[in-house]
Amino acid sequence: MVAATELIKPSDFKGGKPTWCPGCGDYGLQSAMRKALSNLGYSPEEVVIVSGIGCSGNFPHFQSTYGFHSTHGRALPLATGVALANPDVKVIAVGGDGDGYGIGVGHFIHAARRNLDITYAVMDNQIYGLTLGQASPTSQMKAITLTTPKGVDERPINPISLAIGAGASFVARGFSGEGAHLEKLLEAAIEHKGFSLVDTLSPCVTFNRLNTYDWFRDRVYFLEEEEGYDKADLSQAFVKSLEWNEKIPLGIIFEDEGASLQDLDRIISKGINPVKQKLGIDPAVTDMKKIFSEFK
Amino acid sequence: MVAATELIKPSDFKGGKPTWCPGCGDYGLQSAMRKALSNLGYSPEEVVIVSGIGCSGNFPHFQSTYGFHSTHGRALPLATGVALANPDVKVIAVGGDGDGYGIGVGHFIHAARRNLDITYAVMDNQIYGLTLGQASPTSQMKAITLTTPKGVDERPINPISLAIGAGASFVARGFSGEGAHLEKLLEAAIEHKGFSLVDTLSPCVTFNRLNTYDWFRDRVYFLEEEEGYDKADLSQAFVKSLEWNEKIPLGIIFEDEGASLQDLDRIISKGINPVKQKLGIDPAVTDMKKIFSEFK
Amino acid sequence: MHFEELKPGGILIYNKTARFSLDKYMSEIDAKRIIVLGIPLTKMAREINVKRPVLANTISIGALLEILGLETDGYLRVIEERFGKESIIEMNRQALIKGNNFIKENSDVRYNLNPPTLEPKANIVVNGNHAIAIGAAASGLKFLSQYPITPASSILSYLSQHAEDFGIVVRQVEDEISAITMAVGAGWAGVRAMTATSGPGISLMAENIGLAGITETPVVIVDAMRGGPSTGVPTKTEQSDLMPIVHVSHGEFPRAIFAPRDIEEAYTLTFKAFNIAEKYQIPVFILSDFTLSERLENVEEFDVNLKIDRGKILDPEQRYPDYHRYAFTDDGISPRLLAPHPDGKHVGVGAEHDLDSNSLAGSQAGLYKSRWMKEQMFNKRFRKLKVLEETDMDPPIWDGEDDADLTFICWGSATTAVKATVDYLNSVSDDMKFNLLSFSDMFPLPVEKVKQELAKIKTGVIVEINYTGQLEQLLKLYVDYSPNGHIRHIDGEVLTRTRLLQYLKELELEEGKIEYSYIRRTKDFNKKEVM
Amino acid sequence: MHFEELKPGGILIYNKTARFSLDKYMSEIDAKRIIVLGIPLTKMAREINVKRPVLANTISIGALLEILGLETDGYLRVIEERFGKESIIEMNRQALIKGNNFIKENSDVRYNLNPPTLEPKANIVVNGNHAIAIGAAASGLKFLSQYPITPASSILSYLSQHAEDFGIVVRQVEDEISAITMAVGAGWAGVRAMTATSGPGISLMAENIGLAGITETPVVIVDAMRGGPSTGVPTKTEQSDLMPIVHVSHGEFPRAIFAPRDIEEAYTLTFKAFNIAEKYQIPVFILSDFTLSERLENVEEFDVNLKIDRGKILDPEQRYPDYHRYAFTDDGISPRLLAPHPDGKHVGVGAEHDLDSNSLAGSQAGLYKSRWMKEQMFNKRFRKLKVLEETDMDPPIWDGEDDADLTFICWGSATTAVKATVDYLNSVSDDMKFNLLSFSDMFPLPVEKVKQELAKIKTGVIVEINYTGQLEQLLKLYVDYSPNGHIRHIDGEVLTRTRLLQYLKELELEEGKIEYSYIRRTKDFNKKEVM
Ligand SMILES: Cc1ncc(C[n+]2csc(CCOP(=O)(O)OP(=O)(O)O)c2C)c(N)n1
Ligand SMILES: Cc1ncc(C[n+]2csc(CCOP(=O)(O)OP(=O)(O)O)c2C)c(N)n1
Ligand code: SF4
Ligand code: SF4
Ligand SMILES: [Mg+2]
Ligand SMILES: [Mg+2]
């Protein structure tokens, strides 16, 4: 991080000109992310934003940070490789609902239980945007899409329930129509030590005519304002995760403070940064005599 | 199914001689499965047992039914293809914890939400058996395995919580040391209309020295005997799913009666069996004039 | 300028003058993916007659006709009828041709609008994906599992929208691994099953394509190729998955690959693909590409009554006490007996296996009988490939002049541009003859037939849309043929006649340079004019 | 019989007589994967001296020495010392050789127990996986992400157990897709990263190997090949992933492939693989196989101080205002500037891209500059391959007699058996000379150097452990070489000298049959004797 004198502004995170449709929910995540990062004092070159493929996957190109726009569904493994190779950079993964909960859901489950300290922000628009409007794993039952002319006939994924079921240590929902709230969520997620999910309701104004800004505005409420809600209570969190059609909670739904993978990995936990090590056998670290003696 | 006169005995399901180690938990699933199938009146040729790769993956070879021993982690997609192509056969998928909750967990999540009427029995031994003892996604934290000399450092998957989080319509846990109970569970699972998971605690006597028959016997209890437990209550089910270290519930932890994919798919729901259709354009079904006219 | 009215991906033709620049519109142009074509209309008009800049209009029409792939004859007749005066007619004729030639020489943008025919009812306007989808349906597809990807997505969306019409179980699934594995399951259960994808999906499918291979399960896989590698350029075209598919999946097993040359063939080869898949019990690939899959064309209604051949499927009403799923036969093909049948019971398996599909892995591995069986199963599977090669793989086809001085060799959708080039060259050249030899049945190459055809070539130039020359590799490998030169188009755009002529001009043929007459005639040809 | 004492996978040698049969033990033998070898010991003893069936013991020792790959000289000396009487010595000598020859002629089971050397301290007993693992560690591996699979698993378990010793982040991950993608992420971040697998894993990795290709990210991928296709026979050996890896992943991008011939080379080539990966910023494959990965051998301690070459990595202490991640250079290699550095910021991307890693997909696709850039990026990447080919790929190496009548051509671990065969043939033949030419640097083949060596061959026979002749395909394709004959071993077992001699006997060389002297000498050679 940089000295307080050269304060990093959200606009310092501006990269290439976004190609999202005007009104796309992904803009909401973008501005909240820039603010959260600048609030936390990160400078662009300390941050690596990793994405998969989708409209959402283009996110890193529009920021001035380092980034990696990987393959469809593979943002989390790619981000994991970067984070473990260089613990000094801040790694944030982003993706779409198809990318993260469809083709990539296996990695999502394992990233959750691995509890590596990275943040995963999903631009959940309940549709495949980039490929022009097919059903996604979060499309509602009966939703009419390009590939479901008679309506979706598979149960949608509830990302919050799923993440809780998978043992994630930080599970939150934001809404790109609630920028200030989303910004705070992202800050908390980035600060959380371990895997943090921020499922972001991010309307696709071009292909999802069902789950619009208005649809969400009629339903969302802030969990922070709900009295007695205890985000450390797993069972309560699961019950809360089931709310959807009538009212939709925004906020940190679950958080626990267990050890992150960085705390547990046998190398990283010692404060070693792999990318800063000299290559080759260092006799101070490696006793080749001992290594070879095992084979005698 | 066959006429009552030629009653099918469990031994009619005997196939090739099992190669599992003596005492392996997988024998328990095998005999419970044979009994359940014979209780329900299935004859071997009506059943297709599909597996992935692992000690567990060899299961179909030891039965006299049809079977498919597919690739690692892909039992569920393969079973899905069979079940949708021929709704007249009874499809049962089996696998190991690595196969189903590790490499195959993405398909597991989607099979759960797809709610196709197939049964998935996982021989969960919390270890990679076939490959000689590496950690599996259900290995406990700190467990010492071939690949975790200092102990597992990632949170294990709780298959029951995960299935519930994924929206599965039937979630049960059995124990291969409790054959009669497991048999009833499998019957219920096979009878359930929709995706049914039977996570079966199935000790690996060769590589898992921690989660032994005795370890489980000290902990398991039958949910059916717990008063007031309502398997239709999702929240209660989730709370129940979290029990593990002290006591481990066996039984149907959750069940709902929603429509299965067979009820909803636009072709199968009409009672059409794809494999029995004649090939080529049938003018009674297909109006080629209409088809072509769209392109004029 | 009225940019709002321009459709995304549209084409903007403007009068290119020294004073006018498009620079300030470039960001809008880029965003809308508009193709820009500057033609010095006024200048050209003045070249015909300094006093008649109005000829620019006719020049632009001449240009447009070429872009739309329409003949100039009709418009020439209109001019003749409209303008009585011969000098005016002549000026307009010149203007028309001048505009037409400008495009021929300077631009590779083409929209193939076939001219309306006399019987509009029998014709349909479809793209390659429609042809594949309808071909699959007509040949008896009963199960499609697919994951969306450009440019294969419209196979899924079209068949989703017509699932009931055709009686097909259509599933959009979680990923390509699932898509292929479900299709293998369905194919094993006995239906005609298909999946469709583009390169990234093929890569993900690799492992379970091998599962189809070793279990001898029929399945059809469409690869609508796009710009690669990796994500590449998804909306652009390449023919770069041929060799990757010849070798897709670890280890060795038979497969077949077909690459339709045009829309009609996308339909007929889909039929053939299903027949071959079932007859030989192998995975069969249809290689389309962005150009073919997404280009609309006017074609005749498809014949839905082509022959269906399911190969050796046993009558379920009979009993077969001696049934062995992988029985050894002369042609390597073992009859299938579909579930549920008491005599057909077996466990399909990705491991090597014996006649009854018992696994040779695990405790059987290394036994003398297993070693022998492993050898024999390889022989059996590859016997099928040999029979397929000799029985069902068609040789490449000729077009253009017989006994030509120069033969273009090409495959799949590149054929369209090559054909246009050959026709053009033959029309402008009086001292040389050109033709083409075009492949659709790619693998296994019918070796003897291909050799026979290649032997007729005097000077051969392979034209393909990839970097490493994949057809060239295939020909080298299987028929020991090396061309005199090659043209490899890799910029992502649809290959056109104009572009091909440019390449040809730059080509130095290995066996001494041959100067072609068309080159002399088009000396002033210069691509720098195009924006 | 004491079957309990036999180790699974062990070998059972028994005195084969008319009265004794193993039939009733077969299920146990199968279950334990025991290799059974019946030798008519008594009968053979009586052939030497009808009155001395006790010679059977010496016969069995002669057999054992051959199986263990040990010389007979030492034991002959023991006999000489032990038995004073010349006739007894002679009988025992005959018995020893008889037993020895029986195995030579009838069995291909071998355990390569190198004889103990004089300096036991400097030697270690390791398998190929240990050599690769230690080679990786010594060359600076900092990140291993792997999913277990036979026969690559012990790379993961060995390095898991020594993570702290070497300072390597070792992760067993959820699948092979994750394994390769994490390694690409780590490679991009700047560490030496590796993953290891077998065929099925390679197939699953295909898509993200392409991601390494287009992003020019160094990564090392070990493929310990096993019996294929699909699940195949996991505990048996094949060399059948060479061409699948030459073409792995859709589209086209440079890669390098090395196939160690033995344990020492498994170590040194791993070093080389990491240097090449970083120098050329490409994915590099190490092709091991079941035989090499799992066979223990006695070798010298590895030299941990081999040269490390990281290629063009810029000094992080400097500023680079004009930095472009994919700057065009003569050799196609663009310097890396690792994160976090203010001048190195860019977005790695699987799409085609410009010098600064801006994507050419989406709204940039098809623009004139994008088309040009796409061409240039292909040129740039393939320029690297050319430089690699000419600079760092080593030619095949010779062994055996100079100027031989027959040359065996082979690659990777098959070299061991071929070398034993060549030595044997040279020792028994006085009228013919044999040698071998063996490849380890498989792709890109150093074309000119390879051509030079191949030109020296009189009669060439390619020996490989696969069905379709993959080295043969590679040589045809890149150096236009066709052998006079080939031997393709596909039964899954380790290739041995004995087996190779059998094949050779059956071989009919294309250019007229050549009768080799060794064939005359081994006419009674008959594999039917072996169970
Ligand atoms: C392996 C692979 N399969 C399919 C695709 C095609 N594809 C690109 S984006 C996408 C889905 C995008 O949906 P989502 O993740 O929800 O992102 P969105 O565009 O809605 O932000 C698909 C299927 C691909 N690029 N790679
Ligand atoms: C694609 C692929 N990766 C890895 C393997 C190797 N492999 C075979 S079984 C197995 C794990 C088995 O563990 P589990 O699923 O728990 O089954 P178990 O043997 O314990 O019953 C692995 C990693 C494989 N066959 N295919
Ligand atoms: S298509 Fe939808 S998701 Fe994609 S940029 Fe447009 S509004 Fe956003
Ligand atoms: S290794 Fe374990 S899981 Fe495999 S058969 Fe033996 S006891 Fe069962
Ligand atoms: Mg989406
Ligand atoms: Mg297991």
% of chain D exceeding 90 in pLDDT: 69
C175 contacts A149? CB cut-off 8 A? no
Nearest to C459 by CA among C430, C432, C421: C432
Tens of pLDDT along C153-191? 999 999 999 999 999 999 999 999 999 999 999 999 999
Taking a C-beta distance cutoff of 8 angstroms, is the pair C489, C465 a contact?
Answer: yes
Q: Say how far apart CA B100 and CA B76 lie, in whole Å.
A: 8
Which of B261-270, C424-433, C434-443 has the least mean pLDDT?
C424-433
Element (H, E) at D500: helix D497-506
Tens of pLDDT along D158-171? 999 999 999 999 99
Taking a C-beta distance cutoff of 8 angstroms, is the pair D259, D287 a contact?
Answer: yes
How far apart, in Å, are the Cα atoms of A53 and each of A128, B170, C522, D274? Answer: 10, 33, 45, 29
Contacts of A165 in chain B (CB under 8 A): 158, 161-166, 238
The confidence score (pLDDT) of residue D401 equals 96
Q: Say how far apart CA C266 and CA D130 lie, in whole Å.
A: 51
All residues at 6 or more sequence positions from A196 whose CB lies less than 8 Å from its CB, including other chains: A118, A119, A120, A168, A169, A170, A171, A172, A188, A189, A190
Strand residues in C282-324 grouped as ranges (E): 283-289, 297-300
Q: Which residue has the higher pLDDT, C81 or D476?
A: D476
Q: Give the pLDDT band of residue D516 (cuts 50, 70, 90).
A: very low
**Which residues on adjacent β-strands are paired with residue B174?**
B200
Atom of ligand 4 nearest to the CA of B25: 8
Cβ of B28 closer than 6 Å to ligand 2, yes or no, is no
- Residues having C-beta closer than 5 Å to ion ligand 5: A 96-97, 125, 129
Q: Tell whether the model's pLDDT for residue D117 goes beyond 70.
A: no
**């990965």: which residue's tokens?**
D293
Backbone angles phi and psi of C408, in degrees to 5: -90, 135
The confidence score (pLDDT) of residue B60 equals 98
Q: How far is B82 from chain C (nearest CA, A)?
A: 5
Residue from the list A15, A45, A77 with its beta carbon closest to the beta carbon of D339: A45
CATH superfamily for D3-106 is: Pyruvate-ferredoxin oxidoreductase, PFOR, domain III (3.40.920.10)
Summarize the confidence of residues D149-177 as an average pLDDT. 98
User: Which residue's CA lies nearest to atom 25 of ligand 1?
Assistant: A72
Backbone angles phi and psi of C403, in degrees to 5: 55, 45
The confidence score (pLDDT) of residue C57 equals 85
Q: Say how far apart CA B110 and CA B262 lie, in whole Å.
A: 15
The confidence score (pLDDT) of residue C517 equals 36
Q: Say how far apart CA D264 and CA D261 lie, in whole Å.
A: 8
**């190398």: which residue's tokens?**
A267
DSSP structure class, residue B101: I
C392 alpha carbon – ligand 2 mean position (Å): 39
**């170590």: which residue's tokens?**
D267
A57 alpha carbon – ligand 1 mean position (Å): 8
Residue ranges of chain D assigned to CATH 3.40.50.920: 397-519
Q: Give the pLDDT band of residue C127 (cuts 50, 70, 90).
A: very high
Tens of pLDDT along C240-269? 999 999 999 999 999 999 999 999 999 999
Backbone angles phi and psi of B141, in degrees to 5: -50, 140
Q: Say how far apart CA D55 and CA D91 lie, in whole Å.
A: 8
Q: Give the pLDDT band of residue D530 (cuts 50, 70, 90).
A: very low
Give the chain C residue whose CA is nearest to the CA of A97.
C174
Distance of CA C453 to the CA centre of its chain: 21
Q: State the ipTM, two decimals.
A: 0.91
The confidence score (pLDDT) of residue A178 equals 98
Give the chain D residue whose CA is nearest to the CA of B138.
D174
D231 contacts B71? CB cut-off 8 A? yes
- Name the neighbours of D, counting chains with at least 3 Cβ pairs within 8 A: A, B, C
How far apart, in Å, are the Cα atoms of B130 and each of B54, B74, B127, C357? Answer: 5, 16, 9, 20
Nearest to A198 by CA among A215, A184, A186, A181: A186
Dihedral of CA D39/D43/D49/D54: which sign?
Answer: positive
Q: How far is B168 from chain C (nearest CA, A)?
A: 16
Atom of ligand 2 nearest to the CA of D231: 25
Residue ranges of chain C assigned to CATH 3.40.920.10: 3-106
A128 alpha carbon – ligand 1 mean position (Å): 6
Intervals of chain A under pLDDT 70: 1-5
User: Which residue's CA lies nearest to atom 5 of ligand 4?
Assistant: B20
C126 contacts B291? CB cut-off 8 A? no
Helix axes A234-241, B234-241, angle to 10 degrees: 140
Q: Give the pLDDT band of residue B150 (cuts 50, 70, 90).
A: very high
User: Which residue's CA lies nearest to atom 10 of ligand 1?
Assistant: A54
Q: D49 is written with which tokens?
A: 């001296």
Contacts of D176 in chain B (CB under 8 A): 103
DSSP structure class, residue C406: E
Summarize the confidence of residues D132-136 as an average pLDDT. 98
Residue ranges of chain D assigned to CATH 3.40.50.970: 125-299
Q: Tell whether the model's pLDDT for residue B207 goes beyond 80.
A: yes
The confidence score (pLDDT) of residue D381 equals 98
Taking any CB pair shorter than 8 Å as contact, residues of chain B touching chain A are 102-107, 109-110, 113-115, 137, 150, 153-158, 161-167, 234-235, 238-239, 242, 258, 261, 264-266
Selected residues 149-178 of chain B with any CB under 8 Å from a CB in chain C: none
Residue from the list B153, B242, B261 with its beta carbon closest to the beta carbon of A154: B261
Q: Tell whether the model's pLDDT for residue C523 goes beyond 90.
A: no
User: In terms of residues, how long is chain D?
Assistant: 531
Q: Say how far apart CA C211 and CA C249 lie, in whole Å.
A: 9
Taking a C-beta distance cutoff of 8 angstroms, is the pair A25, A203 a contact?
Answer: yes
B77 cis-preceded (ω within 30 degrees of 0): no
D17 alpha carbon – ligand 2 mean position (Å): 43
Q: D328-362: b or e for each residue (b if 16 or more CB lie within 10 Å)?
A: eeeebbbbbbbbbbeebbbbbbbbbbbbebbbbbb
Cβ of A54 closer than 6 Å to ligand 1, yes or no, is yes
Pick the CATH number of D125-299 from 3.40.50.970, 3.30.70.920, 3.40.50.300, 2.30.30.40: 3.40.50.970
Q: Which residue has the higher pLDDT, D172 or C112?
A: D172
The confidence score (pLDDT) of residue C12 equals 78
Q: What is the mean pLDDT of chain D?
A: 89
Cβ of A136 closer than 6 Å to ligand 1, yes or no, is yes
Tens of pLDDT along B218-255? 999 999 999 999 999 999 999 999 999 999 999 999 99
Q: Say how far apart CA C225 and CA C198 lie, in whole Å.
A: 5
Q: Tell whether the model's pLDDT for residue B181 goes beyond 60.
A: yes
Tens of pLDDT along A156-200? 999 999 999 999 999 999 999 999 999 999 999 999 999 999 999
Q: Say how far apart CA B286 and CA A266 lie, in whole Å.
A: 64
Give the chain D residue whose CA is nearest to the CA of A85.
D186
Helix axes C73-82, C55-67, angle to 10 degrees: 160
Q: Which amino acid, residue A111?
A: A
Tens of pLDDT along C80-123? 777 777 888 888 888 888 888 888 777 767 766 655 544 555 79
Atom of ligand 3 nearest to the CA of A205: 7
Q: Say how far apart CA D518 and CA D504 lie, in whole Å.
A: 10
Contacts of D372 in chain C (CB under 8 A): 491
Taking a C-beta distance cutoff of 8 angstroms, is the pair C188, B82 a contact?
Answer: yes
Q: Give the pLDDT band of residue D508 (cuts 50, 70, 90).
A: low
Distance of CA D395 to the CA centre of its chain: 16
Taking a C-beta distance cutoff of 8 angstroms, is the pair A121, A200 a contact?
Answer: yes
D350 contacts A86? CB cut-off 8 A? no
Backbone angles phi and psi of D367, in degrees to 5: -65, 150
DSSP string, D331-384: TSPPPB-PSS-TTT--EEESB-B-TT--B-SGGGTT-HHHHHHHHHHHHHHHHH
Query: Which ligand does the CA of B54 lie closest to?
Result: 2
The confidence score (pLDDT) of residue D87 equals 81
Q: Give the pLDDT band of residue D42 (cuts 50, 70, 90).
A: confident
How far apart, in Å, are the Cα atoms of A17 and each of A64, B199, C31, D252? Answer: 11, 50, 11, 30
Q: Tell whether the model's pLDDT for residue B146 goes beyond 50.
A: yes
Q: What is the largest CA-CA distance in chain C?
A: 94
Size of interface C-D (CB pairs under 8 A): 247
D150 contacts B134? CB cut-off 8 A? no
User: Which residue's CA lies nearest to atom 6 of ligand 1?
Assistant: C149
The confidence score (pLDDT) of residue D22 equals 74
Taking a C-beta distance cutoff of 8 angstroms, is the pair D130, D296 a contact?
Answer: no
Q: Say how far apart CA D39 and CA D43 lie, in whole Å.
A: 9
Summarize the confidence of residues B184-192 as an average pLDDT. 98
**């597996």: which residue's tokens?**
B51
Q: Give the pLDDT band of residue C49 (cuts 50, 70, 90).
A: confident
User: Which residue's CA lies nearest to atom 4 of ligand 1?
Assistant: C149
Residue to mutate among D147, D158, D198, with most B CBs inside 10 A, is: D147
Q: How many CA atoms lie within 13 A of A9 on its CB side?
A: 3
DSSP structure class, residue C413: G
Q: How many CA atoms lie within 13 A of D409 on its CB side?
A: 27
% of chain C exceeding 70 in pLDDT: 89
B267 alpha carbon – ligand 6 mean position (Å): 37
Q: B30 is written with which tokens?
A: 């095998």
Cβ of B54 closer than 6 Å to ligand 2, yes or no, is yes
Summarize the confidence of residues C442-452 as an average pLDDT. 98
Q: Tell whether the model's pLDDT for residue D525 goes beyond 70.
A: no
Taking a C-beta distance cutoff of 8 angstroms, is the pair D270, D139 a contact?
Answer: yes
Q: What is the mean pLDDT of chain C?
A: 89
Tens of pLDDT along C486-495? 999 999 999 9
Q: Given ligand 1 and candidates A19, A27, A29, A53, which is best to mutate, with the most ligand atoms within 8 Å of its CB?
A: A53
B206 alpha carbon – ligand 4 mean position (Å): 6
Q: Tell whether the model's pLDDT for residue B3 goes beyond 60.
A: no
Contacts of A157 in chain B (CB under 8 A): 109, 113, 166-167
Nearest to C209 by CA among C142, C277, C117, C290: C277
Give chain A's domains with CATH numbers.
10-293 (3.40.50.970)
Contacts of A132 in chain C (CB under 8 A): 153
Q: Say how far apart CA D148 and CA C176 lie, in whole Å.
A: 23
Query: Which ligand does the CA of A205 lie closest to?
Result: 3
Q: Say how far apart CA D27 and CA D174 lie, in whole Å.
A: 36
How far apart, in Å, are the Cα atoms of D442 and each of D286, D439, D451? Answer: 10, 7, 14
Give the chain B residue whose CA is nearest to the CA of D150.
B131
Instruction: Give this prediction's pTM.
Output: 0.88
The confidence score (pLDDT) of residue D5 equals 56
Q: D191 is written with which tokens?
A: 């560490």
Q: Tell whether the model's pLDDT for residue D521 goes beyond 50.
A: no
Is the CATH code 3.40.50.920 the one for domain C397-519? yes
Q: Tell whether the model's pLDDT for residue B96 goes beyond 50.
A: yes
The confidence score (pLDDT) of residue B83 equals 98
Atom of ligand 2 nearest to the CA of B57: 21
Q: Say how far apart CA D385 and CA D282 lie, in whole Å.
A: 9
Q: Say how far apart CA A165 and CA A159 lie, in whole Å.
A: 10
Strand residues in C53-206 grouped as ranges (E): 123-126, 141-146, 169-172, 192-197
Q: Tell whether the model's pLDDT for residue C515 goes beyond 90.
A: no
**């299987």: which residue's tokens?**
C478
One-letter-per-residue 3-state SS of chain A: CCCCCCCCCHHHHECCCCCCCCCCCHHHHHHHHHHHHHHCCCCHHHEEEEECCCCHHHHHHHECCEEEECCCCCHHHHHHHHHHHCCCCEEEEEEEHHHHHHHCHHHHHHHHHHCCCCEEEEEECCCECCCCCECCCCCCCCCCECCECCCCCCCCCCHHHHHHHCCCCEEEEEECCCHHHHHHHHHHHHHCCCCEEEEEECCCCCCCCCCCHHHHHCCEEEHHHCCCCCCCCHHHHHHHHCCCCCCEEEEEEEECCCCCHHHHCCCHHHCCCHHHCCCCCCCCCCCHHHHHHCCC
Q: Give the pLDDT band of residue C521 (cuts 50, 70, 90).
A: very low
The confidence score (pLDDT) of residue D9 equals 63
A73 contacts C175? CB cut-off 8 A? yes
C164 contacts B77? CB cut-off 8 A? no
Q: Given ligand 4 and candidates B204, B209, B210, which is best to mutate, with the most ligand atoms within 8 Å of its CB?
A: B204
